Amino acid sequence: MLVATDLTAAGLRPLVADVDGIVIRGRGRITGALLERAPRLRVVGRHGVGLDNVDVEACTRRGIWVVYTPLAAVEAVAEHAVGLLLAVARHLASGDRAVRAGEFDAARAGLVGRNLHGQTLGIIGLGRIGERVAEICRAAFAMPVVFCDLEPREDAAARLDARRLPLAELLAASDIVSVHVPLTPQTRHLIDAAALARMRPGAILVNTARGGVIDEVALVAALRAGRLAAGLDVFDHEPLPADHPLAALPNVVLSPHRASHTEEALLAMGMVVEDVLRVLRGDLPRYPANRPQTEVSR
């Protein structure tokens, strides 16, 4: 077994020539160029849910399985999204900093939060995580739910008494918007300047999906204007530089891409090795993200 310490392309290339399987987390990339250096590779295991750092199409063409853990982090990420929402609405991070700085009375008087009860929640992407966020917010805060999704999600919508809306209408109707779509060419900068302008004044935007779904330049401008607030676990470029404009804004709570980092979720994501071993034994995986062409032709 080899453990990569350098996750750049240059660091990975020398390690893959003789490997049959790769397990990768959020850093590093499995590209077509890297696959050309791995003639024996039969399976890539993604420790997590997002597949934007794996060239799934290239793997499929080369007969390589891609397996992942779509169920492992649902609860962890959903709870983190709700935690960010609470932190933004009640100024928890600002209050913590103020108390530590000896500004107790000033913060107590100046940091006035808002109730979440009865606020309208807009979910962009009503998949497993988006649905769980909606369940928590509806049960805990009696929040009406609207959602935008390519699929009608009729069963989930019925359970949540949720309305499906086009994105523009969802943004205009929601007090809180929580993003839960994968990063694809179609979703990159889905939330751009025009989308942000449609949001209600004072709305809260939460992103625990992928940073590239939001145009960060446009978001910084909206935050500087005081039009909205945000809770972000993911960013277009990670790690977020210390001098990034987001880091200087008081109306955003930042989290270092750790929504899935609970003991339970990390253990469950680590079980991707079970599917890797299934493939190497010649068995079908439980959670495939593709169907390699060599398998399709059988």
| Catalytic (active-site) positions | 210, 238, 257
Residue 135, SS3 per DSSP:
helix
- HSE-up (13 A, CA, CB side) for residue 178: 31
Beta strand segments in 86-131, E: 121-124
Among residues 232, 173, 223, the alpha carbon closest in space to that of 193 is found at 223
Interatomic CA distance for residues 155 and 149, integer angstroms: 13
What residues pair up with 178 in beta bridges, in sequence order? 123, 206
- The CA-based angle 200-205-207, given to 5 degrees, is 155
- The Cα 63–Cα 295 span in angstroms is 7
Place of tokens 């470029």: 237
In 32-93, where do the E strands start and end? 43-46, 65-67
Could you identify the residue written with the tokens 């069963």? 155
Contact between 56 and 77 under an 8 Å Cβ cutoff? The reply is no
Q: Tell me the one-letter amino acid at 102.
A: G
How far apart are alpha carbons 231 and 172 in whole angstroms? 19
d(CA 277, CA 43): 9
> What span, in angstroms and rounded, lies between the C-alpha atoms of 174 and 56?
34
